[in-house]
Structure 1
Amino acid sequence: MTRTDIPETTTQGGTALRRPKPRWLLGLGPLVLIAVLLGLFSLLNGPGLSRLGQGIPPKEEVAVEGIRLTPGQIILTVRNEGPDPVAIAQVNVSDYYAAFTQTRDTMAPMEASTITVSYNWVDGDPYELALVTSVGGKITAGIDAASLSPERDSSFFGLMALLGIYVGVIPVAMGMLWMPFVRRSSAAWVRGLIGFTIGLLAFLTFDATLEAFGLVSGNASFGGPLVVILGAVIAYLMLEAADAWMRGHRNVLTTGEPAALAPGTLALLIAIGIGMHNLGEGLAIGSAYAVGSLALGASLIVGFAVHNTTEGLAIVTPLARERPPFGRLALLGLIAGAPAVLGSLIGATVYQPTLAAFLLGLGAGAVGQVAIKLLPMLKDGTGRTLTPLTATGVILGIAMMFATGLLVQA
């Protein structure tokens, strides 16, 4: 039976031509072939390459990701960052070889192990730790001043949530109280305030980037410093995509001409960017407190509050010519400040340096993207972007964040 519903293509000689193969099949074919070849290569253990590593000592790269102190014990979380398996054979605490147990006798590449060392440490004393591998390698770590790690119970998590509120939600809300001042300012002064906002966002961008690079310096697990760049690029592209989508949606509803970035949208982007930054900041605070290296006194809380208050001003500045309802302002404040609570909880429980660096990279890319979006709002009637007032605003924004940042060094 011959099908007549699909026209048949023939040549001049009457020979029927084959129908072209589906495009998805042409794209899937090479992937299947690559998977088969890699599988065979792995199954056969690299034919001809088995003697390449003979006589070469294994490359051991182990990172100490966390240290907790409990009565009579030092608990370390370590990860194998190198390409070869690693086994910890001995643990030395300040020139004393201590008994220990570990969850993994041998760590495969990228695997982590928890090492529990039996040692009667003394509160306030410093200690040098050395992990000796089975082939004689040594991984070192230090404890500046020993102190009991807090128990991770409900009261601890409640404290972390309260800490996030103190350093994130409340300061941002306080900064948004400048809304009446911003609304009463002239157009020139609003441009100066926008310059101030750009300055503080620029400072946050560089500050978060440098802090993230510091977390993974000498730490090659999961890509090392590349995870910071990856986080920044992802956040930048996500906000750019959100911006383009919102502009396109406005085009459909208006005359079809390119839509300018609405003040409310810009305020939302600023809140999202600051929220991503505060997520990374809360992560650092929670993890530092969990290992007992952060003395959270009242003066330090005040320092964090002053440092983050200017973030609220950054959110309300684009809304100088609008009268947003209170509920909308409250939502913007929560978007910017509440991630500090989540970051504190994550940092206190599942802290991992690479994760922290990635989240800080997200924050850096987000606030950097928002700073770039604010630049067109600096233009005055003559089209100049940098005037004495706007340039002064940028400098003051950077100086303010630098000065208040000195209050939260811990």
Structure 2
Amino acid sequence: MSTADATDDWGAGGTGRGVERKADPGPGSGGAGGLPVWVLGLLPLLLVIVTIGGFVALDGPGIGDRTGPPAEELVVEQTVLKPGTIELTVRNDGPDAVRIAQVQVNDAYAQFTGPSEGVGRLATAKVRVQQPWVEGEAYEVVLLTSTGGTIVHPIDIAVETPDEDGSFFGLMALLGIYVGVIPVALGMLWLPWIRRIPAGVFRVVMAVTVGLLAFLAIDSTLEGLELATLGSQAFGGTALVWIGAVVAYLLLSGVSSWLSGRRRSAEASGASPTQLATLVAVGIGLHNMGEGVAIGSAYSSGALALGAFLVVGFAIHNTTEGLAIVAPIAHTKPSLGRLALLGLLAGGPAVLGAWIGAAAFNTSVAAFLFGFGAGAIVQVIVQLAPTIRDGEGRTLHPPAVAGLLAGMGIMFVTGLLVAG
């Protein structure tokens, strides 16, 4: 074999056997049969659409007619009480249309007006029942369908639903400020104290902060799961809580990564003190939005006592959130404007949540918001965790564990003061 032949077989570091090398086609080059790449990617999707269209056009061949009674699943999403009437907003969660034939209130038949035709899948309808009711009494409304099915909806305490006018939304805003903005602002007054404590004590304070946030994340998740089980299941039910959590975690992770790329002076956690404080405020704000939704919806239904004890309870419970915000920026010199902005980010969403809950409460939306808040808080915890490491690089050292437990204990005890 000549030198030229050897070069042809092996090349520069080749594998022998006379293998011919081909250039790698570019991303826009033709594929099989010379078709463009975008056509090859779109072709399977078009075939799926054609297949589904044919199946629908032929009326589902092979499935046959279903036997047995229709599946009737009506869910009451909202109750509005006015003098002499009880109005229910219902949604059809089942696959079949549901027609309401009769209504009972406390085992007595009542006159009602509602949809003349059946309520289709995922559709909503209002059922207005002519029923004199007494404030403070309990009622049980039973919807009887045309097939003999029953949907039972209890009203634990009958209270007139307030009108949604300007004064109503003003009251909701005031309530949101009481339970969100003011407590967070008061908690931020701990900033001068945090600046003067030793490094070891500061790590414990940061551990307390993580404990506070961990409790909020658990609380948000449980609240969302409870709401999801009470409302419509057609849009995902409890899955909405977990979807909201994942969406929030990924969004905040992306935002944090983007901010870290712009601020090379970041800490070892990947975020500067200002970024950490902002993320904490956003996470707490999302939690407070979910809290506001629960407060507003409870107030509109009359299930929440708006006494001074309630305001004091929420204030004490949420004041610790201010500590969580200022802890990451304890050794910086933030302006008053930045501190005010952080406070509004954390407390302001409670006002928006109260408006949403009182005016357009929907269990699916509320469940998603609670999950969103929980996911945001978990992402913040991941960002804060490196700040509690000791000199040996340990995160769960004894002082940190004590701080974590103390933070969760504080939130639990102050949460007992909130009465609904």
Report the TM-score when normalising by structure 2.
0.89
Equivalent residues in 2 for 1:107-256, closer than 5 Å: 107-217=119-229, 219-251=232-264
**Distance across 1 between alignment mates of 2:161 and 2:189:** 38
DSSP 3-state at the match of 2:103: strand
Please state how far the C-alpha of 1:387 moved relative to its aligned partner.
2.6
**Distance across 2 between alignment mates of 1:274 and 1:315:** 9
**Distance across 2 between alignment mates of 1:342 and 1:127:** 31
Q: Alignment length, in residue pairs?
A: 390
* Counterpart residue number, 1:12: none
* Counterpart residue number, 1:14: none
Report the TM-score when normalising by structure 1.
0.91
**Distance across 2 between alignment mates of 1:161 and 1:77:** 25
Structure (1 or 2) with the larger CA radius of gyration: 2
Residues 211-230 of structure 1 show CA distances to partners (whole Å, capped at 9, x for unaligned) of: 11111116422011000000
Which residue among 362, 369, 375 is the counterpart of 1:365? 375
Q: Is the 8 A contact 2:240 2:368 kept in 1?
A: yes
Shift in CA distance, 104/331, structure 1 to aligned 2, threshold 3 Å: farther
Please state how far the C-alpha of 1:105 moved relative to its aligned partner.
2.9
Please state how far the C-alpha of 1:376 moved relative to its aligned partner.
0.9
Residues 332-353 of structure 1 show CA distances to partners (whole Å, capped at 9, x for unaligned) of: 1111110000000111111001
Amino acid at match of 1:283: V
Moved more, 300-309 or 37-46: 37-46
Q: Is the 8 A contact 1:247 1:259 kept in 2?
A: no
Which residue among 10, 33, 57 is the counterpart of 2:47? 33
Shift in CA distance, 332/94, structure 1 to aligned 2, threshold 3 Å: same
DSSP 3-state at the match of 1:109: coil
Q: Is the 8 A contact 1:247 1:258 kept in 2?
A: no
Residues 107-149 of structure 1 show CA distances to partners (whole Å, capped at 9, x for unaligned) of: 1111111110000111111111111111111111111121111
Equivalent residues in 2 for 1:355-394, closer than 5 Å: 355-394=365-404
Please state how far the C-alpha of 1:152 moved relative to its aligned partner.
1.0
The sequence identity of aligned pairs, in percent, is 53
Q: Is the 8 A contact 1:231 1:362 kept in 2?
A: yes
Q: Is the 8 A contact 2:269 2:386 kept in 1?
A: no
DSSP 3-state at the match of 2:34: coil
* Counterpart residue number, 1:45: 59
**Distance across 1 between alignment mates of 2:104 and 2:419:** 31
Which residue among 101, 107, 113 is the counterpart of 2:113? 101
Please state how far the C-alpha of 1:409 moved relative to its aligned partner.
3.0
Please state how far the C-alpha of 1:388 moved relative to its aligned partner.
2.6
Which residue among 350, 356, 378 is the counterpart of 1:340? 350
Q: Is the 8 A contact 2:72 2:96 kept in 1?
A: yes
Please state how far the C-alpha of 1:104 moved relative to its aligned partner.
6.0
**Distance across 1 between alignment mates of 2:115 and 2:416:** 41
Please state how far the C-alpha of 1:364 moved relative to its aligned partner.
0.5
* Counterpart residue number, 1:305: 315
Q: Is the 8 A contact 2:179 2:350 kept in 1?
A: yes
**Distance across 1 between alignment mates of 2:34 and 2:254:** 36
Please state how far the C-alpha of 1:248 moved relative to its aligned partner.
2.0
**Distance across 1 between alignment mates of 2:307 and 2:353:** 19
| 1:324 and 2:334 matched | yes
DSSP 3-state at the match of 1:407: coil
**Distance across 1 between alignment mates of 2:419 and 2:223:** 12
Please state how far the C-alpha of 1:23 moved relative to its aligned partner.
2.1
Residues 214-251 of structure 1 show CA distances to partners (whole Å, capped at 9, x for unaligned) of: 11116422011000000000000101111111122234
Q: Which runs of 5+ in 2 are unaligned?
A: 1-22, 24-30
**Distance across 1 between alignment mates of 2:196 and 2:268:** 30
Amino acid at match of 2:197: S
Amino acid at match of 1:243: S
Please state how far the C-alpha of 1:18 moved relative to its aligned partner.
8.6
Moved more, 267-276 or 101-110: 101-110
Please state how far the C-alpha of 1:259 moved relative to its aligned partner.
8.0
**Distance across 2 between alignment mates of 1:237 and 1:18:** 37
* Counterpart residue number, 2:36: 22
Q: Is the 8 A contact 1:250 1:259 kept in 2?
A: no
Shift in CA distance, 222/104, structure 1 to aligned 2, threshold 3 Å: farther
Please state how far the C-alpha of 1:59 moved relative to its aligned partner.
1.0
Q: Is the 8 A contact 1:104 1:113 kept in 2?
A: no
Please state how far the C-alpha of 1:198 moved relative to its aligned partner.
0.6
Q: Is the 8 A contact 2:289 2:350 kept in 1?
A: yes
Q: Which runs of 5+ in 1 are unaligned?
A: 1-8, 10-16
* Counterpart residue number, 2:9: none
Q: Is the 8 A contact 2:263 2:272 kept in 1?
A: no
Please state how far the C-alpha of 1:258 moved relative to its aligned partner.
8.4
**Distance across 1 between alignment mates of 2:112 and 2:371:** 36
Residues 160-215 of structure 1 show CA distances to partners (whole Å, capped at 9, x for unaligned) of: 01111111111111110111011111111110111101101100111110111111
DSSP 3-state at the match of 2:122: coil
Please state how far the C-alpha of 1:102 moved relative to its aligned partner.
1.4
DSSP 3-state at the match of 2:417: helix
**Distance across 1 between alignment mates of 2:91 and 2:357:** 18
- Runs of 4+ aligned structure 1 residues displaced above 4 Å come to none
DSSP 3-state at the match of 1:77: strand
